[in-house]
Chain A
Amino acid sequence: MLEVRGLTVRYGSADVLSNVDLTIGTGEVVTLLGSNGAGKTTLFCVLSGLVRPSAGTVTFMGEDLARMRAGRIVEHGIAQCPEGRKLFPQLSVEKNLMLGGYVHRRDRRAMKQSFESIIALFPALEAKLGAPAGSLSGGQQQMVAIGRALMARPKLLLLDEPSLGLAPLVLQQTLAAVAAINSTGTMVLLAEQNAYAALAIAHRGYVISDGRIVLEGTAAHLRQNDDVRRAFIGA
């Protein structure tokens, strides 16, 4: 279980995140809704150990993450599929995936199993294993990015704006894959601007604005909320 309490990130005199509380329970898909610059990516960077919080606590499975190095956090079971994917564009798809399992590199059998399960989840990648990741379509790159994160065998998968630049059909396939990943017991934190798509697979959600959590509730509750509908669904 992930528990974030009173999280504040300050750059200079500006609070990018302010007193954020958030929890993710076992087996949950939780969505974080917010517009550009709301603080979603900063929160993800804190959870991945790339940004140090100015105040507050982040605990995952009972361990404090706030001062943990990025590599140790991946070992501890949190992997991120970042906004913009951040693939290794000139390396092959296969190498991108294998590097995703870097923290488990000594367990070759487990890496092979993870690799095979990812190919089973995204069969379209099988024919592209030797191709440079940067040469793939946006949808295929998203599959590689999610696959790379899954190679770390995460207990919690962080997905930052997976819908960005994807055609609606590809987005549906991606979200179906996320639901399939969650069905194996992996917790998912999904940051999205596309609330309609995110709430379709989430159990609960939070709305973040100007670095503060302004609303939280079940997916059904948020779908019915007028502010959410106006701001994110356009209804």
Chain B
Amino acid sequence: MIFATGLICDSARGACGKGRPRVHFFFQELLNGLVLGSIYALVALGLALVYGTMGIPNFAHGHLYMFGAYAAFAAITVLHAPYWPAMILAVVCLAVLGAVVERVVFRPLRKAPEVNAIIAAIGLLFFLEAVARLIWGSDFRVLPTPYDKVVNLFGFIATQQQLIVIAAAFVLMGALFYFLKRTLLGSTIEAVAQSPAGASLVGIDADRVATLVFAISSGLAAAAATLIASISLIFPEMGFVVLLKAFAVIVLGGMGSIPGAIAGAFILAFAESFSAAYISTSYQDVVAFGLLVIILAIKPTGLFTRAT
């Protein structure tokens, strides 16, 4: 596949080599799974947040992620911004774009049947892809990173960028969790999700919460895209692949559940990573989605009940 897995696994597997002990090989795959799971989690968290709060399955989320990658790419190649300021710029740009999307596309459809929002999201998806193709063309691109050195970590081989992906993803997940659980503003998101009428009665503005949710969701997608774009590729259709995975993750975790999105992301990533390593890269999606089908057959509502 074109998305992260192949590149991460192949490079790491090559470095690891067949002569290494099996236990090292296992932990190497664990590391690859962690990298992939970190990205899935950041993307799926945004999707779960929007669905859990507003009931919108945002099919354009993958394309907002794609725009995040291009925003970082433009910041580095056109503005010559260093890596971290480029990421911050991409996150801010996508947060603003997410807020605009909520205001212009989804808010007018708030009281319309759910299918209208779904169709609008699909329309937005194609619009964003067309705009990206118009600006950046259809070529594959790689985000330049200063963190391209290979490090040996207790005998395991990883690139600096892989370690940054994991660390940054966990910092962002921790920050989101803190915001939702420990701040009054974050609690308003959960309040609107659990009782919109109750939220209105205490003076919470549901429109502002919706804008905030879309901004956070899109910002997280931009962060994920910037993190992975240095070890993967940037291209206009990259949103489709990640969207499919992110939806699988939130269905697996329980629609709208934040802990479920995190757990689902790592389950899917480890399933892909280990099946690619121990069976074949050709079967990694078969195993991962097979596992999804089995888990849903046993627990149709997903692993976690909705917690937001």
Contact = CB atoms under 8 A, between A and B. Distances in A.
A82 B191 CA distance: 15
Contacts of B184: 98-99, 102, 105
A89 B187 CA distance: 13
A211 interface: no
B194 interface: yes
B201 A99 contact: no
Interface in A46-103: 48, 50, 69-75, 79-80, 82, 85-91, 95, 98-100, 102-103
Contact of B194 (A70, A71, A89, A152): A89
B198 to A, nearest CB: 4
B194 A102 contact: no
The main secondary structure of chain B at its interface with chain A is: helix
B114 interface: no
B207 to A, nearest CB: 10
B202 A99 contact: yes
Contacts of A105: 184
Interface string B171-203: 000000000000010011011001101111111
A6 to B, nearest CB: 25
Interface in B201-215: 201-205
Nearest to B190: A91
B204 A86 contact: no
B307 interface: yes
Interface residues on A, range: 20 to 34
A40 interface: no
Contacts of B201: 48, 50, 70, 74, 79-80, 82, 86, 149
Contact of A95 (B187, B195, B197, B204): B187
A201 to B, nearest CB: 23
A91 to B, nearest CB: 6
Contact of B203 (A71, A85, A88): A71
B307 A86 contact: no
Interface in B248-288: none
Interface of B: 184, 187-188, 190-191, 194-195, 197-205, 307
